[in-house]
Homo-oligomer: A and B are copies of this chain.
Amino acid sequence: MQWERITDFCAATTPTARAELAERQLQALERREATVRAFIALDVAAAWRRLAENVSGPLGGALIGAKDIIATADFPTLYGSPHPENAGPRVDAWCIAVARRLGATLLGKTVCTEFAFPRPGPTTNPHDASRTPGGSSSGSAAAVAAGFLSFALGTQTAGSTIRPAAYCGVTGMKPSYGLLHTEGVQAISTTCDHLGVFAVSPRDAWYLVSAMTMRRAEIVQARKPRRVLFIRMPAEIPLADGYGERFSTLQAELQADGVAAEAIELPFPLADFAGLQKEICYWEAARVLLAPGRMRLLPELEALLGPWLDRDVDLYAAARRRRQAYQARFAELVTGVDAVLVPAATGTAPLWADTGDAVMSRFWTALHGPAMTVPLWETEQGLPLGLQLLGGLGADRALAEAAQWFFARRRR
């Protein structure tokens, strides 16, 4: 498998190794981008020039990409919309300004579904061009999976980082709500919007997040969890492609390995597990995206959001209060638990252009804790399946350590 051979950025410990890594990435881009179509805009010549400057810093020599919902000074921002009049400001979003200051080289803007809703862009799955890379951070996931970039920035409001990372066989990380500042990122649903990160390995993901969050970049070590909690999905949410069996096997393996690995039924009402995030997100998104003079949406998205403008504030408030109660319940659940383990999607990547179902992520996203995808399995067809790790609010570093352990384990 080609993706098994991709090295992570933390393994490139010298300027020369980083230069070689970037060179391999730009070669892969030249070879495969015509099929993968991860980028909506890119500038290879500018990237070469910047790399030639040997910029120092923790991200010096790192090629990064940014989802087309994140404002940048040197590329237009179109939010996955076909309407050029939506084009955003030509200034760097907070995350871009910080990444550049840390030494990163922005190769380009990656394909996004229309305003991070389901309508897909042209990107294909690097493992099988007849399949979706997932969405809405479609190009970010695919570009890392295809070996074009060390890091890609995306977002997650429902499942837009965790799911495409799983479909593309890379690491996805959605840090805790608020940990990465979203200034310059088009808002969709402000109490659900998160920045997300795509990388080869969990340690790379945390390397980027820690560098952006603190004044130091950290390389976490794999840490074997002492206690994990599996959450079984109810029959109403069927899992495909052998996901369920793999989870049973994983639980048994972990127990054999001395990890306390308990499984519980979904401890939240199914209706809210499937629908609460939508109630909050659509109410907020209607107000944001349909605000006067703001955005021109395609008719389908406008029709989806329009009715939510009339929805009473008390219904929205009730959904917000249920979320708050679930956050408290989840905080209890994760006490003493190193990671909650659930599938990262309902199966492998669907055929293009269905970007797949966010049901395995949207509820957890609304709860605000960190989530990660580790590319743990591969089907006989060579399609990746991801393990999703969930942590309590703010337990981002610890979750990355546990994720790195699972990541290293699959290579044994």
Stretch with Cβ within 8 A of B (4 or more), from A19-27, A129-137, A236-244, A394-402 = A394-402
The distance in angstroms between the C-alpha atoms of A311 and B210, with both chains bound, is 12
Q: Is A101 an interface residue when CB atoms closer than 8 A count as contact?
A: yes
Residue of B with least CB distance to A314 = B397
Is A327 an interface position by the 8 A CB rule? yes
Q: Are B328 and A294 in contact (CB-based, < 8 A)? A: no
Given contacts A183-B187, A313-B397, A328-B328, contact A176 B97 (CB under 8 A): no
Q: Is A310 a contact partner of B178 (Cβ separation < 8 A)?
A: no
Instruction: Choose among B94, B101, B312, B327 the residue that contacts A288 (Cβ–Cβ < 8 A).
Output: B94
- Report A191-210 CB contacts with B as 1/0, cut-off 8 Å: 10000000000000000001
Question: Which residues of chain A in 196-235 are interfacial with respect to chain B, using CB atoms and an 8 Å cutoff?
Answer: 210, 213-215
Q: Which listed residue, B214, B314, B393, touches A394 by the CB 8 Å rule?
A: B314
A213–B324 Cα distance when bound, in Å, is: 21
Q: Is A247 part of the contact surface with B, judged by Cβ < 8 Å?
A: no
Q: Is the CB of A325 within 8 A of B316?
A: no
Is A86 an interface position by the 8 A CB rule?
Answer: no
Q: Mark A160-178, 1 if CB is under 8 A from B, else 0.
A: 0000000000000000111
Contacts of A292 in B (CB 8 A): 97-98, 100-101
* Cα distance, A280 to B101, chains bound together (Å): 24
Tell me which residues from 383 to 412 in chain A have a Cβ below 8 Å from any Cβ of chain B.
Answer: 392-397
Q: Is the CB–CB distance between B313 and A396 below 8 Å? A: yes
Residues of chain B with a CB closer than 8 A to A100's CB: 292
- Knowing that A92-B293, A183-B187 touch, tell me 8 more A-B residue pairs with CB under 8 angstroms: A89-B89, A97-B291, A97-B293, A214-B312, A317-B396, A318-B394, A321-B394, A325-B331
Which 7 pairs from chain A and chain B are nearest by CB? A317-B394, A328-B328, A101-B292, A178-B191, A320-B394, A97-B292, A178-B190
28 A–B contacts from the bound complex (CB under 8 Å): A89-B89, A94-B288, A94-B291, A97-B292, A97-B293, A98-B291, A100-B292, A176-B317, A176-B320, A178-B191, A179-B313, A181-B187, A181-B287, A181-B288, A183-B190, A183-B288, A213-B287, A213-B313, A214-B311, A214-B312, A215-B310, A314-B397, A316-B394, A321-B392, A324-B328, A324-B393, A325-B328, A327-B328
- List residues of A whose CB falls within 8 A of some B CB: 89, 92, 94, 97-98, 100-101, 176-179, 181-183, 187, 190-191, 210, 213-215, 284, 287-288, 291-294, 309-314, 316-318, 320-321, 324-325, 327-328, 331, 392-397
